[in-house]
């Protein structure tokens, strides 16, 4: 099994700051970590390798300092890592990011199974995983909380998806892309040997040219989304609490809903 895990370096805070003039994320002066959902994706990649054999390859698209998240991936036991970095990628929205990540996966020879996080804690769109699957023309299994079984010979995977009101069991053909939620596993800690190995590792960097990407589809050039305004909505005031016996409160509630035209 060739397993690819896509990870993103994010600011170590959910209190993301926005440059009010450019409406882009302020990354300077903020410590960076592996996107927490991607830690679960890495762990699931490793567990899949342990159960079914193969290799775990990890990719991240980002600036040179994103190498740190790849070192962490090596330290927990991933086999190969790739930094996808080029000025041409700067200012990418989710469309351009998904394109660059999918071209990278093609460049490294494809995958039987791709793991992504459910979403990144800074951009928060949850679009990149599905976007990568679409560009590669493979099925996407989102919000996965359990990989039940993989049949390597028959090229099939059965997963449980976390839904609002329960779990959905889905079977898919392989190759496929899975996005994971935090309930899927408990990520392991790196070993001392792993940390030493990661510290010494030479990490390959891939440019736009290396992954054979069309520069018009990358970075700002390839990003049709524009952020026109970023703001925090005003806090809503507390609602009204109806007190009393149920037999009195229910007709009162119905009248209020009718007055507000929520029901007829
Ligand atoms: C309208 C808009 C404009 C933006 N403009 C800019 C900008 O000008 N400059 C800027 O720096 N950022 C910008 N961003 C942020 C940037 O586009 C996103 O951070 C990026 O596309 C990933 O989207 P996301 O963070 O929502 O990831 P999600 O879709 O929430 O991530 C889901 C999963 O996809 C994978 N993934 C996500 N990103 C990567 C990656 N880079 N490499 C590998 N795997 C990945 C991970 O597995 C992750 O868990 C913009 C975002 C939007 C929505």
- The pLDDT value given to residue 14: 65
- The pLDDT value given to residue 234: 85
Identify the segments of the chain with pLDDT beneath 70. 14-16
Nearest Cα residue to atom 21 of ligand 1: 94
The preferred substitution site among 91, 93, 229 for testing ligand 1, maximizing ligand atoms within 8 Å of CB, is 93
| Cα 128 to averaged position of ligand 1 atoms, centre (Å) | 7
β-pairing, 166-173 with 156-163? antiparallel
| Cα 186 to averaged position of ligand 1 atoms, centre (Å) | 24
Cα 208 to Cα 61, 63, 80, 184, 229, distances in angstroms: 11, 13, 19, 33, 30
Ligand 1 atom nearest the C-alpha of 84 is 42
Q: Cα(32)–Cα(9) distance, rounded to whole angstroms?
A: 6
- Could you identify the residue written with the tokens 């991933």? 78
Ligand 1 atom nearest the C-alpha of 129 is 34
Q: Cα(156)–Cα(171) distance, rounded to whole angstroms?
A: 7
Pocket of ligand 1 (CB under 6 A): 6-8, 24-25, 35, 37-38, 41, 59-62, 91-94, 97, 101, 116-117, 119-120, 122-129, 225, 227
Query: Which residues have C-beta within 8 Å of that of residue 239, sequence separation ≥ 6?
Result: none
Provide φ and ψ at 43, rounded to 5°. Answer: -60, -40
Ligand 1 atom nearest the C-alpha of 37 is 49
**For the chain, which domains are there?**
2-217 (3.40.50.620)
Ligand 1 atom nearest the C-alpha of 62 is 41
Ligand 1 atom nearest the C-alpha of 119 is 30
- The pLDDT value given to residue 227: 81
| Cα 94 to averaged position of ligand 1 atoms, centre (Å) | 5
- Could you identify the residue written with the tokens 């949850």? 126
| Cα 125 to averaged position of ligand 1 atoms, centre (Å) | 7
- The pLDDT value given to residue 240: 86
Residues 219-245 pLDDT 10s: 999 999 988 887 778 888 878 889 999
Q: Cα(90)–Cα(130) distance, rounded to whole angstroms?
A: 21
Residues 123-135 pLDDT 10s: 889 999 999 999 9
Among residues 187, 179, 27, 35, the alpha carbon closest in space to that of 120 is found at 35
* Whole-prediction pTM: 0.87
Ligand 1 atom nearest the C-alpha of 128 is 29
């Amino acid at each position: 099994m060739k397993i690819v895990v896509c990870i993103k370096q994010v600011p170590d805070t959910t209190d993301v700051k926005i440059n009010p003039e450019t409406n882009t994320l302020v990354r300077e002066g903020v410590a960076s970590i592996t996107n927490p959902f991607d830690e679960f994706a890495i762990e699931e990649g490793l567990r899949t390798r342990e159960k079914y054999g193969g290799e775990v390859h990890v990719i991240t698209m980002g600036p040179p300092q994103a190498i740190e998240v790849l070192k962490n991936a090596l330290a927990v036991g991933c086999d190969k890592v790739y930094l996808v970095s080029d000025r041409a990628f700067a200012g990418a929205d989710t469309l351009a990011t998904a394109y660059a990540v999918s071209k990278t996966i093609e460049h490294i020879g494809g995958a039987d199974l791709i793991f992504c996080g459910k979403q990144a804690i800074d951009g928060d769109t949850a679009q990149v995983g599905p976007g990568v699957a679409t560009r590669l023309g493979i099925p996407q299994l989102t919000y996965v909380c359990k990989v039940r079984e993989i049949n390597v010979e028959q090229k099939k995977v059965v997963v449980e998806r976390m839904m609002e009101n329960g779990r959905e069991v889905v079977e898919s053909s392989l190759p496929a892309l899975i996005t994971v939620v935090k309930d899927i596993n408990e990520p392991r800690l790196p070993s001392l040997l792993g940390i030493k190995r990661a510290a010494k590792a030479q990490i390959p960097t891939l440019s736009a040219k290396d992954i054979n990407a069309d520069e018009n589809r990358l970075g700002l050039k390839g990003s049709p989304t524009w952020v026109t305004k970023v703001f925090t909505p005003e806090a809503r005031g507390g609602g009204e609490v109806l007190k009393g016996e149920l037999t009195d409160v229910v007709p009162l509630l119905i009248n209020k809903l009718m007055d507000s035209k929520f029901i007829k």
